[in-house]
Amino acid sequence: MKIAVLGSGMVGRTLAIDLVAQHDVTSFDASEYALELLKSKSTAVKTLKADLSAYSAYKQLLEPFDLIVTAVPGFIGYNTLEAVIEAGKNVIDISFFPEDALQLNSLAKKKNVTAIVDCGVAPGVSNLIIGRYNKIMKIESFECYVGGLPKIRKKPFEYKAPFSPIDVIEEYTRPARLKENGQIVIKPALSEIELMDFDDVGTLEAFNTDGLRSILFTMAHIPNLKEKTLRYPGHADLMIVLQKGGFFSNESIRFKQAEIIPLEYTSAVLIKEWKLQPSEEEFTVMKVIVKGNMNNTPKTIEYTMLDRFDVGTQTSSMSRTTGYTCTAMVNAFAEGLFNEIGVFPPELVGNNENCFNYILDYLKQRNVNWIKKEY
Amino acid sequence: MKIAVLGSGMVGRTLAIDLVAQHDVTSFDASEYALELLKSKSTAVKTLKADLSAYSAYKQLLEPFDLIVTAVPGFIGYNTLEAVIEAGKNVIDISFFPEDALQLNSLAKKKNVTAIVDCGVAPGVSNLIIGRYNKIMKIESFECYVGGLPKIRKKPFEYKAPFSPIDVIEEYTRPARLKENGQIVIKPALSEIELMDFDDVGTLEAFNTDGLRSILFTMAHIPNLKEKTLRYPGHADLMIVLQKGGFFSNESIRFKQAEIIPLEYTSAVLIKEWKLQPSEEEFTVMKVIVKGNMNNTPKTIEYTMLDRFDVGTQTSSMSRTTGYTCTAMVNAFAEGLFNEIGVFPPELVGNNENCFNYILDYLKQRNVNWIKKEY
């Protein structure tokens, strides 16, 4: 297939390099530097500098391609996806934008295209799992625990992010929607901190964040849904201190003739402590627990994944776990395993057993191993 | 006596009102508001608006007065004291400036004036105690624990300050000089956190801050000297987090076309949480422990003080404990109990038994009670 990858950031680069083994791949980015870095890692991927916010040019720009992969920054993600669909192209998306992708469903149907969104790890694999088991059991509860963490623990925060602190802080302040006993409830981010043990990692803490996204609506019949973020123990309490101390506030403070928003300046301060360096080892840890009844018998399905920075190729676990899920979906689509028309979050793909197994096998070949327990 | 009080802030106001019972008092300040507030509390104190940084005017301005009390902000304290001495006036100072007041000793001698500095609670009473017992015992160690705390404990910081957060943070960042086994050692501020129990208060934490000031030099023969700040437990750890997170840094960060110093902006953020409101109840707790030999017998002297906000007169404990020590010194001087020429920190006054007893009695009459234990 002829594939266009829009966006050559950390994840976009990783998935282009993976896809070029089987496809004709062209990566787009506005940044010369990002494209040069990609070329230095793979001569097979073609690159093209382009202003990806020039949506009116998409029709012509994307004309030669069979499939588009969108891996742009979240804040332009929705508009990018809309422009790709408008251009009449099938698309697999991993941009994680805040808007509701299902709003584009009727446009996708009109344009006769397939758009699969949120194709990462969480959202992504967690959605595939709930979709898969929703088909074969009566699910009572779904729990997802996920975190990306640095190998080296440096006090006080014991945390590093491959993106701006402001995006992480946004997760720490946006109220978390979850579902309890059939009701959607809203709890503060960083609430209900609990300790959990993970094999080969040790004890982490889990706390509420707003990560369920489309599942809240597509799985509205499941009475209990929650997603929690994982960090080294103590991190959430420190974030609560900064929040209560006013450092995450969106209300500007008058300071030396300027209006400065604490959240923005805090992000500028924290970047020194939080910036994940390119060769800094990190890992992704995740656990999904589905409970319910299968053939009228109580059943628990547990999937766990622990993936580490690839020292050989200097590829972050964050890129591996999200990027390879996306490329798995691309190949599942390329092989015709999924061909419905419209916009689909992964839970609506995962109900297809072949797709589900294909994606987990694909990840396993890249050493991203999802371990299943059933009891 | 005709007394001029330079500065009518919280402490300057309190001591003017106390002094006017026995003296002819005129308070000076650049702020109309500060002077109005003072007049609303005492009609007996005369007030005069004046730019106290116009040092060349001091000679004429202070000419009618027998004694000057300086209670100006620390950053202009040294220059103010120098100008008063230069004007040939005796002076009692409570401005707590960072510079070394003893530098003005030869000027004071030349001008034939008495200047007593650091006449508050700590420094202040702690200095008096070490001075007193240095005269009658061979001191092996001196320890001072002191804190001003809000009655109502509000998470996360459980702290309020009657002055700008930047001054408190300065105490949390300036390396602490102390003396151990005859050597001056420098330890980080906020280090060596320990829990201590105080009657009628409960458990507090104590940590190193740089509070010994003149004692390090005037009591150079004492092998062990330390001063620690008291807070509700957990406060110091949070300050260490902010410090390690970069929020107390003095190195500016480029932010939206401006260079912004984290420490300054942090202070602007924290003022919302830290600002002690005028009628907000607080207290001062302090313990001084002097160990050594008296008449070749091991001896420990312990002084403790717990003073609370005066609801009746709406006077903060911080003003009471510092201001009344200053007015005690003024009256001790007025009564001729101390008449040496030069610059004197309180430890050089406290070696005078009459002065020492006079000051503690004076404080007791104002219900600031120093309880002594000897064993």
In tens, the pLDDT along B260-314 reads: 999 999 999 999 999 999 899 999 999 999 999 999 999 999 999 999 999 999 9
Residue A105: per-residue pLDDT: 97
Confidence of residue A162 (pLDDT cuts 50, 70, 90): confident
* Residue A264 at interface with chain B, using a CB cutoff of 8 Å: yes
| Chain B residues 149-208 within an 8 A CB cutoff of chain A | 155-157
Helix, strand, coil tally for chain A in percent (to 5): 35, 30, 35
**Span A2-24, pLDDT tens digits:** 999 999 999 999 999 999 999 99
Amino acid at B176: A
Chain A residues near residue B251 by CB distance under 8 angstroms: none
Kindly determine whether residue A247 and residue B247, on different chains, have CB atoms separated by under 8 Å.
Answer: yes
Residue B163: per-residue pLDDT: 82
| CA distance linking residue B234 with residue B195, whole number of Å | 10
| CA distance linking residue B302 with residue B293, whole number of Å | 14
Amino acid at B115: A
Calculate what percentage of chain B has a pLDDT beyond 70.
100
User: Cβ of B40: how many Cβ atoms within 10 Å?
Assistant: 8
Number of residues that this document lists for chain B = 375
Q: Are strands A202-208 and A224-231 parallel, antiparallel or unpaired?
A: antiparallel
CA B317 distance to own-chain centroid: 12
Q: Which two tokens stand for residue B255?
A: 């932010």
| CA distance linking residue B368 with residue B359, whole number of Å | 11
Confidence of residue A138 (pLDDT cuts 50, 70, 90): very high
Q: Are strands B258-260 and B253-255 parallel, antiparallel or unpaired?
A: antiparallel
Q: Which two tokens stand for residue A144?
A: 């997802």
| CA distance linking residue B90 with residue A233, whole number of Å | 59
Please determine, for the modelled complex, whether the ipTM score is greater than 0.85: no
Beta strands, E only, chain B: 2-6, 24-29, 46-49, 67-70, 90-93, 114-116, 138-150, 176-180, 183-187, 194-198, 202-208, 224-231, 253-255, 258-260, 282-294, 297-308, 342-344, 370-374
β-sheet bridge partners, residue B297:
B294
Residue A164: per-residue pLDDT: 85
Residue B278: per-residue pLDDT: 86
CB–CB of A243/A155 below 8 Å? no
CB–CB of A123/A229 below 8 Å? no
In the structure, how many helices (H) and strands (E) does chain B have? 13, 18
φ/ψ of residue B176, rounded to 5: -90, 125
Q: Which two tokens stand for residue A59?
A: 């029709």
Residue of B nearest to A261 (CA): B269
Greatest CA separation found in chain A?
A: 68
Q: Does the pLDDT at position B164 exceed 90?
A: no
Amino acid at A204: L
Chain B residues near residue A238 by CB distance under 8 angstroms: 241
Task: Show Cβ contacts of residue B357 under 8 Å, excluding neighbours closer than 6 positions.
Answer: none
Q: Which two tokens stand for residue A260?
A: 């400065």
CB–CB of B305/B286 below 8 Å? yes
Confidence of residue B162 (pLDDT cuts 50, 70, 90): confident
Q: Which of B155, B265, B267, B271 to mutate: most A Cβ within 10 Å?
A: B265
Helices (H), A112-234: 125-136, 165-173, 215-218
DSSP state of A91: E
Q: Does the pLDDT at position B157 exceed 90?
A: yes
Confidence of residue A163 (pLDDT cuts 50, 70, 90): confident
Confidence of residue A278 (pLDDT cuts 50, 70, 90): confident
Task: Show Cβ contacts of residue A76 under 8 Å, excluding neighbours closer than 6 positions.
Answer: A52, A53, A95, A97
Q: Are strands A90-93 and A67-70 parallel, antiparallel or unpaired?
A: parallel
SS3 of A106, please?
A: helix
Residue A244: per-residue pLDDT: 94
CB–CB of A303/A325 below 8 Å? no
| CA distance linking residue B95 with residue B38, whole number of Å | 18
Chain A residues near residue B241 by CB distance under 8 angstroms: 156-157, 238, 241
| CA distance linking residue B224 with residue B177, whole number of Å | 11
SS3 of A347, please?
A: helix
Residue B111: per-residue pLDDT: 98
Of A157, A244, A273, the CB nearest to B156: A244
- Overall average pLDDT of the A62-73 stretch: 96
Q: Which of B269, B272, B274 to mutate: most A Cβ within 10 Å?
A: B269
- Overall average pLDDT of the B346-350 stretch: 95
Kindly determine whether residue B241 and residue A245, on different chains, have CB atoms separated by under 8 Å.
Answer: no
Q: Does the pLDDT at position A218 exceed 90?
A: yes
Amino acid at A352: N
Chain A residues near residue B244 by CB distance under 8 angstroms: 155-156, 273
Residue B99: per-residue pLDDT: 92
Residue A137: per-residue pLDDT: 97
* CA of B127 vs chain A CAs: smallest distance (Å): 35
Chain B residues near residue A232 by CB distance under 8 angstroms: none
Q: Is the dihedral of CA A244, A248, A249, A254 positive or negative?
A: positive
Task: Show Cβ contacts of residue B188 under 8 Å, excluding neighbours closer than 6 positions.
Answer: B175, B176, B208
Amino acid at A281: E
Please, what is the average pLDDT of chain A? 96
* CA of B354 vs chain A CAs: smallest distance (Å): 48
- Overall average pLDDT of the B239-244 stretch: 96
* Residue A275 at interface with chain B, using a CB cutoff of 8 Å: no
Map tokens 């009109």 to a residue.
A110
| One-character DSSP codes across B295-357 | TTEEEEEEEEEEEE-BTTTTB-HHHHHHHHHHHHHHHHHHTTS----EEE-THHHHTSHHHHH
Residue B257: per-residue pLDDT: 84
Q: Which two tokens stand for residue A275?
A: 């910036």
How would you label A198-223 residue by residue, b for 16+ Cβ within 10 Å and e otherwise? beeeeebbbbbbbbbbbbbebbeebe
Of A244, A256, A272, the CB nearest to B246: A272
**Span B48-74, pLDDT tens digits:** 999 999 999 999 999 999 999 999 998
User: Cβ of B250: how many Cβ atoms within 10 Å?
Assistant: 9
Confidence of residue B86 (pLDDT cuts 50, 70, 90): very high
| CA distance linking residue B218 with residue B214, whole number of Å | 6
Task: Show Cβ contacts of residue B100 under 8 Å, excluding neighbours closer than 6 positions.
Answer: B214
Residue of A nearest to B247 (CA): A269
Please give, one letter per residue, the 3-state secondary structure of A203-241. Answer: EEEEEECCCCCCHHHHCCCCCEEEEEEEECCCHHHHHHH
Amino acid at A326: C
Q: Does the pLDDT at position B25 exceed 90?
A: yes
